[in-house]
């Protein structure tokens, strides 16, 4: 779980991370101010199943494009992607088309986020 860019409001990211722990996930919270490249690098090192990004600044589409591009550079690497935060309804489909697997707009019950991740991993 990470927050790219300059936004330091990580209450959402931390609370969701905590909920995922209760749902049986091991969460590595990378903190703030990471670049997509740095986040992806750690994801490979830690051999994660899901990369989760929390974005409240409205830059989710831009970030999604960058994330998918970074992942595709690593041929053969399988990882699921999740983006959560302030995502208007009309952008949910756009994110899916860009290749993001799990989308968690504000208002999604945190007790359900674990289920969303598992459903995607089982596909």
Partner 1 sequence: MQTEKKQELSKFSTDSDIPVSSFYSEDDLKGWDQDKELGHPGRPPFTRGPYETMYRGKLWTMRQYSGMGDASQSNRRYKYLLSQGQTGLSVAFDLPTQLGYDSDDEIAEDDVGVVGVAISSLEDMERLFAGIPIDRVSTHLNINATAPVIFAMYIALAEKRGIEVRQLRGTLQNDILKEFLARKAFIFPTEASVRLVCDVIQYSVDKVPEFNPISVTGFHVKEMGASSIQEVAFCLADAIAYSDELVKRNLDFDSFAPSLSFHFACGRDFFEEIAKFRAARRIWCRIAMDRFGCKKDESARLRFFSGGSGAVLTAQEPINNIMRSSLQCLAAVLGGAQSIHVMAYDEALSIPTEESVKICLRTQQIIAYESGVTKTVDPLGGSYFIEWLTDRLEAQIVAKMEQIEKAWGGMANAVIRGFPQREVIERAYKQEIEIESGKRVVVGRNKYTTTTKTRIKIQTPNERAALLQKRRVRSLKKNRNQKLVAESLEKVRAASKDRNVNMIPALVEAVKSYATVGEITSVMKEVFGTYKDPGLVI
Shortest spacing between CB 29 and partner 1, in angstroms: 5
- Does position 43 interact with partner 1 (CB under 8 A)? The reply is no
If binding is defined by CB under 8 A, does position 27 make contact with partner 1? Answer: yes
- Mask of contacts with partner 1, 71-100, x by CB under 8 A? ------------------------------
5 binds partner 1 per the rule CB under 8 A: yes
d(CA 6, CA 117): 26
Q: Please report the DSSP string for 58-102 in residue order.
A: S-HHHHHHHHHHHHHHSTT---EEEEEES--HHHHHHHHHHT--E
Interatomic CA distance for residues 16 and 89, integer angstroms: 20
- 30 is a site residue for partner 1 (CB under 8 A): yes
Output the CA torsion 21→24→28→34 (10° steps).
Answer: -80
Q: How many CB atoms lie within 10 A of CB 29?
A: 16
Choice from 37, 38, 44, 62 touching partner 1 (CB under 8 A): 62
Which of 32, 48, 79, 116 is in the footprint of partner 1 by CB under 8 A? Answer: 32
Three-class secondary structure of residue 23 per DSSP: coil
**Does residue number 114 form part of the binding site for partner 1 (CB under 8 A)?**
no
The site for partner 1 (CB under 8 A) is made up of 5-11, 14-15, 17-21, 27-33, 57-59, 62, 106-107, 109-111
């Amino acid at each position: 779980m990470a927050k790219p860019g300059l936004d330091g409001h990580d209450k959402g990211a931390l609370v969701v991370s905590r909920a995922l722990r209760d749902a049986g996930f091991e969460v590595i919270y990378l903190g703030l101010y990471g670049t997509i490249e740095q986040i992806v690098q750690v994801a490979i090192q830690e051999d994660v199943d899901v990369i989760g990004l929390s974005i409240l600044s409205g830059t989710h589409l831009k970030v999604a494009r960058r994330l998918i591009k970074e992942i595709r550079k690593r041929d053969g690497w399988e990882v699921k992607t999740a983006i959560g935060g302030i995502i208007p309804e009309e952008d949910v489909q756009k994110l899916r088309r860009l290749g993001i697997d799990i989308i968690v707009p504000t208002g999604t019950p945190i007790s359900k986020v674990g289920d969303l991740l598992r459903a995607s991993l089982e596909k």
